[in-house]
């Protein structure tokens, strides 16, 4: 029980108000004794209205003396002060000769309050669950109270914090008075017999050095402790208590002495200051043979400030928009800033991922780790098949590999893998073969799947795509692909098969135009390849000359320059063919 004499003087609050908060009592259990005046409901004293002009505000209660109002807070709170608002308009004497009672047990001692605006302050802080405001004597007809406000220290009982895996132990146990009964929230002002006390308290058997210990399972920070012992005979079982803390299980010399509680009854419910102490084990012991009885141990730590959480009030993680995390769990209500993961946003994204919710995947060269926030790769080097500032854009269709610099050789319209260059179903363009269609036809073959055999070419194999003999034919052979045998008539100026000079000039002119067109296309191709690794959008549409349709050139799929035209023979009838170079193009989207 706690008693402070109070004679109309406001007690100053020292070093408390900054760390306190209002206890919500509007829904707490309220009882009263006496006859209320008309409709002045007693519950008005906890309605949150601070006005004291009782005749006008309809916010006060008046009860015929003798009267009392009792409030059960439903649990013990570490109280810093209690304010009682009396009447200030007329008949202020109705709020005098009143006593205030506060304690952790229903049976309380009381303090006399003699003014109309009263404040009872507790320094050091004390636990309180039961509050009683009552009239003294019959000098005034009514007891009028307008409001009661209760303030608590912003601390939390460590034994009620979710997720804390603690355990308790003690020396040899008496009967059923196990160690866990000291942290079950049950205690009383009296115990009729030994069995009754075992339902609410821990007790050791007669032991040379009795002790009780709690292991929090991890390091915690604590600021206050309250110990409730045995009331009634034999009270000495809860006296001369030494409190130690440690980071390891107890021995006779590895704990640090924090406090000594000579007689807990002299300061029932008082919070004993531990400092800002970090520990894992807390030990309560006596250094002589006896029985040790403890009915309740409450260990408090100051609530974390905004932006911190957990047992040690560590900083919050990277909550989205710098939001404040949950002070107990660290949970970020609105998610994490880009680059941070899990509910508390403390861990960076796993290697290989970045951005919001760590949902974007990195694609850096040699599996190097990208920036977990922005996704940039070291030295902007992308893995094969990827390009862009963050290496998050696939190569344009038709290109693959490192820097998207390799050209696919797939059949027209067939998908090319942007990483390895493999063509779907291994459908290569004419003139190419292998799994990724990267090898030209060899050994004198050309065309689709290299199934065609070159003609009688002069000095080299034919073009791998269309079979053209770029250096002309061997003697006795003619045609675009040197597949036709040449006739051998006697040479004569009147020979009807003699090629006219004008035809030769025309062929030379056509070839000159074709070479010029190829040079222009080659220039565009080189420029395109220099920009493959940029973030520009892709256009995989084949650009055909306006006079040619795609069906005319199913066998043409890549650029190949012709450097020597010395051996070209006169095309036979119907074999005249313009060589067109076709490549995918890349357009710029600004």
Q: DSSP letter at 369?
A: P
3-state secondary structure at position 285? strand
Q: Which fold has domain 17-153?
A: Jelly Rolls (2.60.120)
Rounded distance, CA 403 to CA 383, Å? Answer: 8
Rounded distance, CA 481 to CA 463, Å? Answer: 9
Continuous segment of H or E residues that includes residue 263: strand 256-263
∠ CA 271-274-279, nearest 5°, is 125
Compute CA distances 89 → 8, 86, 190, 236, whole Å: 19, 10, 45, 52
Rounded distance, CA 439 to CA 437, Å? Answer: 6
Rounded distance, CA 238 to CA 187, Å? Answer: 13
Continuous segment of H or E residues that includes residue 133: strand 117-135
The dihedrals phi and psi of 18, each to the nearest 5 degrees, come to -65, -20
Q: What is the pLDDT of residue 3?
A: 30
Every domain range in the chain assigned CATH 2.60.120.260: 17-153, 158-302
Cβ atoms within 10 Å, residue 336 = 24
Q: What is the pLDDT of residue 505?
A: 60
CA dihedral angle for residue 211, residue 217, residue 221, residue 222, rounded to 10 degrees = -30
Nearest Cα neighbor of 45 from 103, 85, 75, 77 is 85
Please write down the HEC assignment for all residues of 76-123. Answer: EEEEEEEEEEECCCCCHHHHCCEEEEEECCCCCCEEEECCCEEEEEEE
Q: What is the pLDDT of residue 386?
A: 94
Q: What is the pLDDT of residue 261?
A: 85
- Name 457's Cβ contacts closer than 8 Å, sequence gap at least 6: 469, 470, 471, 472, 473, 474, 482
* Domain 158-302 in CATH 2.60.120.260: yes
Please write down the HEC assignment for all residues of 341-392. Answer: ECCCCCEECCCCEECHHHCEECCEHHHCCCCCCCCCCHHHCECCCEECCCCC
Q: Which two tokens stand for residue 238?
A: 């809860």
Whether 63 contacts 34, CB under 8 Å: yes
Rounded distance, CA 272 to CA 50, Å? Answer: 33
Q: Enumerate helices (H) and strands (E) in the chain, giving the number of each.
A: 3, 35
Q: Which two tokens stand for residue 266?
A: 């002299």
Rounded distance, CA 99 to CA 75, Å? Answer: 22
CB-side neighbour CA atoms (13 Å) of 7:
1
pTM surpassing 0.75?
A: no
Please write down the HEC assignment for all residues of 286-345. Answer: CCCCECCEECEEEEEEECCCCCEECCCCEECCCEHHHCCCCCCCCCCCCCECCCEECCCC
Q: DSSP letter at 444?
A: S
Per the document, the length of the chain is 590
Rounded distance, CA 333 to CA 537, Å? Answer: 38
Q: Which two tokens stand for residue 470?
A: 């770029």
Predicted confidence pLDDT, tens digits, the chain (590 residues): 333 222 222 223 333 455 889 999 999 999 999 999 998 999 999 999 999 999 898 999 999 999 999 999 999 999 999 999 999 998 888 998 888 889 888 766 667 776 666 778 887 888 999 999 999 877 678 999 999 999 999 888 988 877 788 999 999 999 899 999 999 998 887 776 767 788 899 999 988 899 999 999 988 889 899 999 888 778 888 889 999 999 888 776 667 888 888 887 777 788 888 888 889 999 999 988 899 999 999 999 888 888 998 877 889 999 999 899 988 889 999 999 999 998 899 999 999 899 999 999 899 999 899 999 999 999 889 999 999 888 889 999 899 999 999 999 998 889 999 999 999 888 999 999 988 898 999 888 999 999 999 999 987 789 999 999 988 899 999 988 999 988 765 444 444 445 555 555 655 665 666 666 556 655 554 454 444 444 445 644 433 333 333 333 333 333 333 333 333 333 333 343 333 333 444 433 33
Whether 127 contacts 191, CB under 8 Å: no
CA dihedral angle for residue 143, residue 148, residue 153, residue 154, rounded to 10 degrees = 160
Whether 374 contacts 408, CB under 8 Å: no
């Amino acid at each position: 029980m706690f008693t402070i004499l109070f004679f109309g003087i406001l007690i100053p609050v020292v070093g408390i108000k900054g760390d306190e908060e209002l206890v919500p009592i509007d829904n707490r259990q309220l009882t009263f004794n006496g006859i209320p005046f008309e409709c002045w409901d007693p519950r008005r004293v906890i309605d949150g209205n601070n006005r004291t002009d009782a005749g006008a505000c309809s916010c006060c209660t008046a009860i015929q003396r003798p009267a009392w109002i009792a409030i059960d807070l439903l649990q013990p709170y570490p109280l810093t002060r209690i304010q009682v608002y009396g009447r200030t308009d007329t008949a202020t004497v109705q709020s005098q000769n009143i006593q205030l009672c506060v304690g952790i047990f229903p049976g309380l001692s009381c303090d006399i309050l003699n003014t109309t605006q009263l404040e009872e302050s507790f320094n050091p802080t004390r636990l309180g669950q039961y509050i009683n405001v009552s009239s003294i004597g019959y000098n005034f007809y009514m007891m009028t109270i307008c409001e009661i406000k209760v303030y608590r220290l912003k601390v939390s009982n460590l034994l009620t914090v979710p997720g804390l895996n603690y355990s308790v132990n003690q020396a040899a146990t008496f009967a059923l008075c196990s160690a866990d009964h000291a942290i079950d929230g049950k205690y009383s002002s009296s115990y009729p017999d030994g069995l009754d006390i075992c339902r609410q308290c821990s007790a050791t058997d007669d032991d040379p050095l009795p002790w009780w210990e709690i292991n929090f399972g991890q390091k915690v920070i604590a600021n206050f402790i309250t110990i409730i012992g045995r009331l009634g005979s034999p009270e000495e079982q809860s006296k001369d208590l030494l409190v130690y803390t440690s980071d390891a299980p107890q021995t006779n010399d590895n704990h640090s002495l924090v406090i000594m509680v000579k007689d807990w009854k002299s300061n029932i419910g008082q919070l004993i200051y531990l400092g800002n102490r970090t520990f894992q084990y807390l030990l309560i012991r006596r250094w002589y043979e006896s029985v040790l009885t403890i009915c309740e141990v409450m260990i408090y730590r100051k609530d974390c400030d905004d932006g911190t959480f957990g047992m040690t009030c560590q900083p919050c993680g990277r909550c989205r928009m710098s939001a404040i995390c949950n002070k107990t769990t660290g949970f970020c209500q609105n998610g994490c800033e880009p680059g941070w993961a899990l509910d508390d946003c403390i861990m960076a994204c796993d290697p290989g991922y970045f951005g919001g919710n760590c949902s974007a995947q990195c694609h850096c060269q040699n599996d190097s780790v990208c920036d977990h926030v922005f996704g940039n790769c070291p030295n902007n080097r992308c893995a094969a098949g990827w390009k862009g500032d963050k290496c998050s854009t696939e190569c344009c269709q038709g290109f693959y590999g490192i820097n998207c610099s390799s050209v696919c050789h797939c059949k027209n319209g067939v998908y090319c893998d942007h990483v390895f260059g493999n063509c779907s179903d291994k459908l290569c363009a004419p003139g190419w073969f292998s799994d990724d269609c990267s090898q030209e036809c060899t050994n004198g073959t050309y065309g689709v799947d290299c199934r065609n055999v070159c003609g009688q070419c002069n000095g080299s194999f034919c073009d791998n795509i269309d079979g053209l003999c770029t250096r002309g034919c061997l003697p006795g052979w003619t045609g675009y692909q040197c597949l036709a045998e040449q006739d051998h008539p006697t040479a004569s100026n009147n020979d009807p098969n003699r090629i006219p000079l004008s035809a030769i000039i025309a062929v030379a002119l056509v070839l000159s135009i074709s070479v010029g067109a190829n040079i222009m296309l080659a220039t565009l191709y080189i420029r395109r390849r220099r920009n493959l690794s940029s973030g520009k959008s892709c256009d995989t549409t084949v650009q055909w000359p306006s006079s040619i349709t795609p069906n005319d050139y199913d066998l043409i799929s890549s650029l190949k320059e012709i450097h020597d035209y010395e051996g070209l023979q006169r095309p036979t009838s119907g074999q005249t063919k313009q060589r067109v170079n076709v490549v995918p193009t890349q357009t710029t989207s600004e």
